[in-house]
Structure 1
């Protein structure tokens, strides 16, 4: 406690040679109980009004105040501690702020203030929910609140007045925060096991005097059982929150026009995407051209914590090799001929704090792959023509339809960069491996182009069935183009067949004959089997004998005869 916490009295000052009678008159006029006696500019003593009156009654002479004043006076600074004054023999303290006297206080008044302060402190200590434990600088227990007894089950009378070293030795505690604080001089926090079997989370804090010595240690504790219960509740709430987030994502996937699917493969894929969106791991999206890799990249960004930050997409195949470095990392003014004098920010800077999607990463020039790897490792870039590093915080997502392993073996792609990019590889299956997605995709594109062109057309289920059996080498992009061609070229409101000039390209990759199945067959058998397969495909696409004959360049009679020969029927 300091003098700043006390209510000081104004000082009435007299000179050492002033007569006692005049001093009494001054105190009565100023309504003061104390008088500070000065010799020159320094106080040398004090006198109370009662003592002055008593001395005056017992004397018949004029007495100078210096003969009866009390010389036990202490001069202190406003920010000093009260301890020294309370423990000294002085009866009055003259309080200064630097060189200016600002008031006085007697020992009795100071003691009353301390008592009042301690009473208030007692109320605060006893009102605390946490257990509070106070020792002196030698580890002697001074004070323990009721919450401590309630929390630990140890009666207060067993520990107050005892030393912590003895209590630890007797097994009351496995470890003492007080002793750790006294040993290190620093605050400590740890779990403490009591002899009752309870476990407390305790924190010990040192209290220093002006000399930097530890005079007391305050330790507070809380039953960790309660904290464990709260932690379990929080974990339960977090698990529920995660469950609801996943359910919400699932509903969003099912209802969003961006994700049109029925297959379990895509459902499982989007489930993985939902989990990956919540972490910062690098993702490499693999799959054929047109399968929707960009849609997956958008989902990773939109569902993650960076959703309100930039999403920058770069097609590495669309940027010339000699411009790739400056486009990715930016350049300083005057870095090369034709550069802007103020310089330019690259895609990494534009995507800072957001997501950068590098599509067709397999087309990135080999010489730039080392620099990209360095950026990913260091988290900073250097512009072309610059020397200053620029920190960047970007989530990188990459995609390719190339066989990266073949490129690594051919020394066209760095293996170390591949491992950095493909912490989590995602494979998007082609449309032919998830044919159940074709009907909802067809309906989606029909609605899209009806709205775009102002039509109200629909595709007959029979035609959708034929679309399902097509190979779709161009995947969703090819399906979208085919539906648009049907919508804009067909005159019917319900489209049942392909127009004569509209046909699906031959499925070279799917229908290339596997000669291994004909090992024990003669040439005639192989030719007939291949002819049957070709005729069956054209019947599925063109339906009628007239259209099939026209497409194959044969007569309608020949088409009918061959179909009958192989047991095929026109629709």
Structure 2
């Protein structure tokens, strides 16, 4: 090498802020930055003319970046651990002559010890934060466990606000909505929030009592009223609800003859047992529910108009679950956790399974969801519930959303780079989670990752995600 050029190169390396080492094709150190070896706890001058293979063998370089470049004959980057406990990031580049033979290797090293420590401290802090977040979530769940209603949708928030205002009154409430939307849960909540909460809550499903037994079940009977009657008589459901709340579910199934008697009870606050001769006083709050169009039944003559207007003081229509997408998320999480605790399991939903359940229309509403989750937890052997485990009516249902295979997520142009392909999939799933969830905590549960990871990835892809 030209003497003057060598002097110039040596001065450049000596005065450079970078840690530089140059070796020949045999691994002999030709030039080295004086500060370079302080990272390894050594003096620089002693290693000019030394072999990197010797230094590697003695544990000074672990591994030697120049030795790796000589072996691989291409650019190499490694993270080194020094004997003094420092962490060094080294990058080496091969230099070829005109004939294509590897002639020299130049490497650059950066002390990453403080950065690594900061990363470790950051990771520890994130673990603590996640722990605090978990505690907060557990406290929220404990609070929710004392609260029979699980909802997040605006429609249910409005309903709950209305119930809160009327709970302390004795006004009659009529819940309207499909089967399984939670009418009985809301009725019990009203009772628990009322001044009658220490008294009985009597629930009656009008569709399950035979018409021939309806009167005796509702109003009770005196001893000897009919063949087979209990010798001491029996309190009816109305009498049992005295001072408490009477909830008549499926009120549209109430026989016309009983409708007349129920109207009398509501107007006069008295009733008479079957076979009885004396009127009995009764005081209860009435809550009713139906999935039938009572107004149409009134027009058709199958339901009494005077009773209808007695019941319809405060009508509350509960929307079906398919119209409460925001509630599906929290209900899926709730019932999965509930069944895992009940049966001492640790089942979880795969993201694609979650998507199918989330976009299913749930014709049976909340009751159907509870039954489906319980069935899956009990019958699936694997810890993760996959799409093929779902009932056929869910897995084969056609709807606007269809879970996309990865090949459909990737762009049409050919991708050979694994990192690029992974980024495309991450961006797609993050965008979907963002559209389905309201908070990053929900997104984390939706995606099966930590909430800090969600924030990190959203920042990483903020210019590429669809908002």
Q: Does 1:289 align with 2:179?
A: yes
1:427 to 317, 328, 340: 317
Going from structure 1 to structure 2, the CA distance change for 1:373 and 1:472 (only over 3 Å counts) comes to same
RMSD: 2.5
Q: What do the CA deviations read for 1:370-399 (whole angstroms, capped 9, x no partner)? A: 111011000000111112010001111111
- Matched position secondary structure for 1:338: coil
Distance 2:165 2:141 in 1: 15
CA contact (8 A) 1:430 1:475 kept: yes
Structure 1 residue runs without a partner (length 5+): 1-249, 508-533, 546-571
- Alpha-carbon distance change, 251 to 464 in structure 1, aligned in 2, over 3 angstroms: closer
Match of 2:329 in 1: 439
300 and 257 in structure 1: CA distance in 2 versus 1, 3 angstrom threshold: closer
Query: Are 1:318 and 2:208 counterparts?
Result: yes
Calculate the TM-score normalised by the size of structure 2: 0.54
Q: Decide whether the 8 Å contact of 1:253 with 1:259 is kept in 2.
A: no
Change beyond 3 A, Cα 1:362–1:343? same
Q: Which residue of 1 aligns with 2:226?
A: 336
Superposed displacement of residue 293, structure 1: 0.2
Cα drift, residue 252 of structure 1:
9.7
Select the structure with the greater relative contact order (CA < 8 A; seq sep ≥ 6).
2
Asked whether the 8 Å contact 2:202–2:241 carries over to 1, the reply is yes
From 142, 150, 163, the equivalent of 1:260 is 150
Distance 2:237 2:278 in 1: 17
Matched with 2:272 is 382
Q: Which runs of 4+ in 1 moved over 3 A?
A: 250-257, 500-503, 536-541
Q: Which runs of 5+ in 2 are unaligned?
A: 1-139, 408-467
| Count of residue correspondences | 268
Cross-structure match for 1:471: 361
Q: Which residue of 2 aligns with 1:401?
A: 291
Q: TM-score, normalised by structure 1?
A: 0.44
Give the equivalent residue in structure 1 for 2:160: 270
Q: Does 1:462 align with 2:462?
A: no
* Residue 513 (structure 1) aligns with: none
> 3-state DSSP class of the match of 2:175?
strand
Equivalent position of 1:219 in the other structure: none
1:417 and 2:307 correspond:
yes
Question: What are the within-5 Å matches in structure 2 for residues 33-48 of structure 1?
Answer: none
What does 1:500-515 correspond to in 2, within 5 Å? 502-504=392-394
Q: Distance in 2 between matches of 1:505 and 1:251?
A: 30
Which one is further off, 427-436 or 451-460?
Answer: 451-460
Match of residue 299 from structure 1? 189
- For the structure 1 residues 290 and 501, does the alpha-carbon distance in structure 2 shift closer, same or farther, using more than 3 Å as the test? closer
Kindly indicate whether the alpha-carbon contact (under 8 Å) linking 2:148 and 2:189 is maintained by their aligned counterparts in 1: no
Cα separation, 2, equivalents of 1:362 and 1:407: 8
Deviation of 1:271 after TM superposition, in Å, equals 1.1
d(CA) in 2 for partners of 1:496, 1:353 = 50
In structure 1, C-alpha distance between the alignment counterparts of 2:142 and 2:157, rounded to whole Å? 12
- Residues 398-456 of structure 1: per-residue CA shift (max 9 Å, x gap): 11111111211221100110100111111111101111111111111111111122111
Contact 1:355-1:396 at 8 Å conserved across structures: yes
Distance in 2 between residues matched to 1:392 and 1:400, nearest whole Å: 24
The 1:422–1:538 alpha-carbon spacing in structure 2 relative to 1, beyond 3 Å, is: closer
Structure number with larger C-alpha Rg: 1
Question: 1:279 is matched with which residue: 140, 163, 169?
Answer: 169
Whether 1:497 and 2:366 are equivalent positions in the alignment is no
